[in-house]
Amino acid sequence: MTILGQIKNLTKHSAIYSISTVIQRAEGFILLPILTDTSYLATKGEYGDYTLIYTFIAFMNVFYLYGIDAAFLRYYFLGRQTKEDIYRSAIQILLSTSLISSAIIYLLADPLSVLIFNENHYSFFVKIAAAILFVDTLCSIPYLILRAEEKSVLFTVIRLGRFFLELMLDIFFVVFLKTGVKGILYANLIAAIVNLLVLIPSQLSYVHGHFSFPAARELLRFGLPMIPNGIAYLVVEISDRYLMLHLLDKEKVGEYSANYKFGTLMLLIVTAFRTAWQPFFLKVANQPDAKTIYSRVMTYYVLGASVIVLVGGLFIEYLVKIPITAQTTVLGKAYWGGVRIIPIILLSYMLYGVYVNLMVGIYIQKKSEWMALFTGLAAAVNIGANFYLMPHYGLMGAACATLLAYGVMVFSIFIANQMIYKVAYEYKRLFIIVIYLFVAFILYYLVPIGFVVRLLIIVVLPLVLFLFNFFSAEEKTYLRNIYKK
């Protein structure tokens, strides 16, 4: 298969994965009118309980998986043991450790309730969370098998099935039975159990493998360094909200968070790309043209992501002001003051996608312990920049601190990657895209531009690319064929 053919296959799987990614994220938006209605969650404090327990679950996921998911993909394609032995070793390790972890959380539910909620009568929430974490951890390897086998359609169908089941259960427990946060947790646990049962048939061909101590050792050696990496990444993601509460005020936190949500559009795309990218780059790692493929994917990703950032960044302020009723808009008028942070957040997540692209050398050369250095440095920069920029520049300062942190992640992993697995990226083509994006951002933030000028910035981009001979003859032929179809 040609390079373009292989990249077309990657793009197809990324597009399919994006469906389940977007739908999953949409669950929070769909439930928001219900969860903020006092008929179902009586107080804002109860909604806060819901937020706190799911923050705990998200944080504990890092410790439950401890990088075994990333290690599994790496050794599934590039391990010395059979795929069946890698599967059996990974699933038994996670089964044992997640069972122990959930048992500890269950036994320590009372003190953990005080730690999470500052009250001790929420221990039942903690116990359900322990069960959810256990079941979801067991689901992780089956989903990785589907990704490794490039069964993106089946992956998406099962994920969508879980989404709709959980959504219906949420409505049943919260709206009809009025069980509040407890009902949301019940719905999650039931959906997780059903999800695990549905995934079992796709794993049957792997269960005859044997537990291998060498395989387990390799998985742990690669996976354990992911724990500090995961924690550091969480710091980059959420520290600005906590710091803003102290450096600015709670109202600013609300304004910032509401606008930030629109910036996560790019994160959805990057998440879908990453889901397809990891098994793809490991699968082609032994091909003689692997580095050429990685280089080309980087170029195409940066081009596609730049178009999304440009369109989203330049036109988002028109979108958020679209009226839904006579009194309401997509984003409430009280929040419009933070709209100008959205392009910066979009660009930040575009950089995160570049970071994901650059992971190839770290995975192939088994240098997972380096990941914590990149994210740790970014976390330190993020916190330091927020302390300086936020008091001086408010929401824009916080957004710029996020952009700076992701920039540091990209720069540091690029340097390390080129030291251990040098890839000749298409710097000339990347430079053309980056300069165009830079000029567009300068115009947006320094010059008052109207709708027509913004539209011209988008329309002129293809002309600029052709003017600077961006596309190769093969790519031009490919584009012409697409146009004819």
Query: pLDDT tens digits for 403-449?
Result: 999 999 999 999 999 999 998 999 999 999 999 999 999 999 988 88
For 183, counting Cβ atoms within 10 Å of its Cβ (0-12 exposed, 13-18 middle, 19+ buried), the class is buried
User: Are residue 134 and residue 230 in the same domain, yes or no?
Assistant: no
> What is the average pLDDT score of the chain?
83
CA distance 461 to 415: 30
Q: Long-range contact list for 190-196, CB < 8 A, 24+ apart?
A: 190/165, 190/166, 191/162, 191/165, 191/166, 192/132, 192/135, 192/136, 192/139, 192/162, 193/135, 194/162, 194/165, 195/135, 195/139, 195/158, 195/161, 195/162, 195/165, 196/135, 196/138, 196/139, 196/142
Look at the chain and report how many structural domains it folds into.
2
User: Are residue 233 and residue 202 in the same domain, yes or no?
Assistant: no
Residue 229 in domain = yes
Q: What is the radius of gyration, based on Cα positions, of the chain?
A: 23
User: Are residue 215 and residue 270 in the same domain, yes or no?
Assistant: no
User: Are residue 212 and residue 263 in the same domain, yes or no?
Assistant: no
For 87, counting Cβ atoms within 10 Å of its Cβ (0-12 exposed, 13-18 middle, 19+ buried), the class is buried
User: Are residue 198 and residue 284 in the same domain, yes or no?
Assistant: no
Query: Of 136-150, 254-268, 463-477, which gets the smallest average pLDDT?
Result: 254-268
- Of 224, 251, 276, the position where a domain reaches its end is 224
User: Are residue 334 and residue 443 in the same domain, yes or no?
Assistant: yes
Query: Of 37-46, 114-123, 202-211, which gets the smallest average pLDDT?
Result: 37-46
Element (H or E) spanning 99, and its range? helix 83-107
Higher pLDDT: 39 or 125? It is 125
User: Are residue 233 and residue 219 in the same domain, yes or no?
Assistant: no
- 224 φ/ψ angles, rounded to the nearest 5 degrees: -55, -40
| Proportion of the chain above pLDDT 90, given as a percent | 32
Which residue shows structure tokens 């003859």? 473
Most confident of 15-29, 124-138, 307-321, 364-378: 124-138
Contact criterion met (CB below 8 Å) for 373 and 396: no
Q: What is the pLDDT of residues 445-481, one digit of tens each?
A: 988 888 899 999 999 998 998 888 888 777 777 777 7
User: Are residue 219 and residue 245 in the same domain, yes or no?
Assistant: no
Residue 190 in domain = yes
Give ∠ CA 117-120-126 in degrees, rounded to 5: 65
User: Are residue 283 and residue 243 in the same domain, yes or no?
Assistant: yes
Residue 8 in domain = no
- Of 224, 259, 294, the position where a domain reaches its end is 224
User: Are residue 327 and residue 403 in the same domain, yes or no?
Assistant: yes
Residue 9 in domain = no
User: Confidence band (pLDDT; 50, 70, 90) for 16?
Assistant: low
Domain housing 197: 19-224
344 has a pLDDT exceeding 60 = yes
- Of 224, 248, 274, the position where a domain reaches its end is 224
Query: Of 171-175, 334-338, 436-440, which gets the smallest average pLDDT?
Result: 334-338
Query: Of 2-16, 137-151, 205-219, 341-355, which gets the smallest average pLDDT?
Result: 2-16
Query: Of 57-61, 62-66, 367-371, 481-485, which gets the smallest average pLDDT?
Result: 481-485
278 has a pLDDT exceeding 70 = yes
User: Confidence band (pLDDT; 50, 70, 90) for 106?
Assistant: very high
Contact criterion met (CB below 8 Å) for 69 and 144: yes
> What's the pLDDT at 42?
53
CA distance 210 to 83: 10
Residue 474 has which token pair? 């093969």
